Structure formats: structure tokens, C-alpha cells
Homo-oligomer: A and B are copies of this chain.
Amino acid sequence: MDDLDWKLLALLQCNGRMTYTELARQVGLSVPAVTERVRRLEDAGVIEGYAAHINASAAGYVVTALIAITVQQPAKAKFLRLLETIPEVLECHHVTGADSYIMRLVAASMADLERLIGRINLYGETRTSIVMSTPLPARPLQPPPTAAKRR
């Protein structure tokens, strides 16, 4: 992971569909060299994949919410199986602190949001934060301070 790898990561985080030819031009390497580096980053698991980023409201979802929940240990497995069945739950993290899980979900209406929360908080107390705006939208990961000169 040298500077060039981080340059490639920066470019691919901003435009995941950039061609190898264009990447090569931007970092000043040949196409085979770039292809090889990207392949290594993928194989090493640094690049987990590529995804189109969808605007939820443009896609018909009115609300995005972040929900924290406290679930008793014995119910956790069943709770996670429930989440699998709710497509509106877009991701879920197991966290330290007072909450057990924090998840991000979308809903097509307030009524739907209420219904979804109704199903979810059978498993514990929830705290719902509705996203009003996103002043800092997803930003590319940059090289960590200590790894700047690693090879």
C-alpha cells in the first residue's frame, strides 16, 4: 500500500466505473501496471466491491432513519433473522455502549416507518433518529496517518 495505491483508491472511490486507461493516465503509470495494482487491492480485500450509489428519495423513499435498539442476548439471533426479512433495513451494526445495534433504514411513508418500527421494537427499546439532511455525505477513505509511508 504505497502512495500510488491510495491514489487509485481515491479515484475509484469517487468514480467506481473509471476505466483502467483513465486510471493509468491519472496516476502516470501504464495500463498493465494499474490493472495489476487494482487486482491486488481486490484480492487483498482492500477493495470489497463496486456499487452504484442510489438516492433514496429520488427512488421513492420519503424517509431515512437511524435506529438504535437494545436487545437481550438470547433474542439477538432471532432479531437478526427478522432484519433479514425487511428489505427497508439497509445495514445493521453490532455496537458497544448502551445500544446493542444501530441500523439504517428507509421507508416509503411515515405510516410505513411506524409499521417497521412496530415490528422491530418487539425485540427491545428503540431510539429513532430521522435524517433531515446529510451535511457531510459519504467521503472517500484516505490513507491513515501512520500508514503514509508503509510499503
Contacts and interface: CB of A to CB of B under 8 A. Distances in A.
A136 B52 contact: no
A95 B102 CA distance: 14
Interface residues of A, number: 71
A58 B54 CA distance: 25
Interface stretch (A29-37, A39-47, A117-125): A39-47
A2 interface: no
Nearest to A101: B135
A60 B150 contact: yes
Given A59-B144, A91-B139, A92-B136, 10 more contacts: A15-B49, A16-B49, A45-B55, A50-B50, A50-B52, A60-B147, A66-B95, A90-B141, A93-B132, A109-B146
